[in-house]
Structure 1
Amino acid sequence: MTKESPLAHPRSQVVIDVEGLTKRFGDHLVVDGFSIQVERGRIQGFLGPNGSGKTTTIRMLCGLLTPDGGRGSCLGYDIRREAERIKSRVGYMTQKFSFYEDLTIRENLDFVARIHCLDRRKKRVEKALEDLGLSSRRNQLAGSLSGGWKQRLALSACLLHEPDLLLLDEPTAGVDPKARREFWDHINQLADDGLTVLVSTHYMDEAERCHEISYLAYGKLLATGTVEEVVRGAGLTIWSVSGPAVRELARDLRAGGKVEMVTAFGSALHLGGQDRAALDVALAPYRDRPGLVWKQAEAELEDVFIHLMSQAEDSYR
């Protein structure tokens, strides 16, 4: 039987409240002073390069990993002293598919329910099949499923015990765009129903579907807030340059080293920096080059992340 959660029903309930979390593996500081608050029914996205501490941070927030420093609570429980009580209320979907490929979808779900000694087992399995649109494939072997359907099975299994918090570790890696959209439709519906979701991702379109995002690099939190707040807080000026001569321009600007950001965006080039005056001075010698069309552009989330990453690399050189 599942344990009753201490959470109240109002949406404003703070589900996660942590301060100064740190974690080391040997001499390597993986997470350095991380703090955050997440409210009930919110989708919190974690972004950053590989090895930035995203997964380690999320696991500490959920009581799955004990921090070396810092304090806080999750689902009303202390993340250090009551980690076991937190774990029982968390659904965890890993990036790697970890179900039995020679069992059917229904058999896999039933097996998970048995392992966790869940009550109302048959009803839970039937509901999971229906909620994720798996009923028509219930007798299909898991090993014969496409990436998108395997993803649905994994999510269904995570939800069998009716958790209060869902942890998704790069859940759509290697999945086609249509399946990714359908997956996120499910996640947004779960959040609307009051489930809190922590998700790590490398996809900008997925980040934009989160209520708030946190960007980490080298174990440090560099930015957090809504997408609009993060983009606005970066204070970037962006020029979009198009035309047949953009490749040559990009090469020359990178060689010159005076422009903070030189990034290809499709057939165009995004040039940006925080100091508008310095950017204008750096770009002035190239303005009259033939075959180029210059246009002021709004900063996008990807611009901000490229900028944050370059800052982090400079700090750790």
Structure 2
Amino acid sequence: MRPRARRDGAVPAPAAPLPGRPARLSSGPAAAAPGALERAMDELLRRAVPPTPAYELREKTPAPAEGQCADFVSFYGGLAEAAERAELLGRLARGFGVDHGQVAEQSASVLQLRQQQREAAVLLQAEDRLRYALVPRYRGLFHHVSKLDGGVRFLVRLRADLLEAQALRLVEGPDVREMNGVLKGMLSEWFSSGFLNLERVTWHSSCEVLQRVSESEAVHPVKSWMDLKRRVGPYRRCYFFSHCSTPGEPLIVLHVALTGDITSNIQAIVKECPPSETEEKNRIAAAIFYSISLAQPGLQGVELGTFLVKRVIKELQVSPRSRTRLAAGPCLANCGRAPSSNLVGGQV
């Protein structure tokens, strides 16, 4: 039987099971018996999710073996069906979250110390123990996966799958929503502005970048290569953020039109041809930010759009306080949270 192709198109080579580990089970016709995939998932999670060390040993416990996290990434990548991935994520959220017994115990300790009016140092340590108990176990898995080569990119894709599964009601519940929030918070730290690079798209950019920019445009779909060439050509600017670990890969894309005046007719901006093949600076009096689109669904809710707009304003040498009037569309406040939005800029 041929091995199943992964979602990236590659076919994993068959490998012998490691000593002491059963062979990985397929979710397709090769599944040995009903429930075999579920048992394989449970075994994988028990092996891959690191246990929470005792509070006193939290800084002395060595990191789990890299292979444990790599096993999770490999297993997840081999699940071809959205329902299978949703099942694994649901089991991870429900079975490896917060130890509620520990939380209750540490909460009671904090309350008792407050009632006894103990000194501040004792109370602060008890509160620190409570914070430690509130960290879910799967956060440790995400943390260690992020250190793998391509690990952060994998987690962005995993969250995109999680959001899709929630939208399709393949997996639901407070545990799943909590895990989504935890992962979103971690991604917000990893994709803060200090780790982002501003890159401009031109017709001379790589085919891969041009293709991604075209595919990510949801507000005003790109109809042809000539349409795309016009949007990155004279009197137009296209910028995107990339992460320092994946340069050249768009995260969020912003389109700008350089015009003689401000207009509210966005369709005219999208469809009109530039006045000439060579830009004349004396014909540019306004910068209109007419489209912003999130290229990575897994980063939904992570603050990117506002940072991108501010960086582009600076790139265009426009002062947001003195010389610019930004008349934003209704989605500007949410740019970076929604897949796409419109916005109109002001005078240069």
TM-score by length of 2: 0.29
Select the structure that is richer in helix: 2
Q: Which protein shows a greater Rg?
A: 2
Which one scores higher on RCO, CA 8 angstroms, separation ≥ 6? 1
Give the strand-richer structure, 1 or 2. Answer: 1
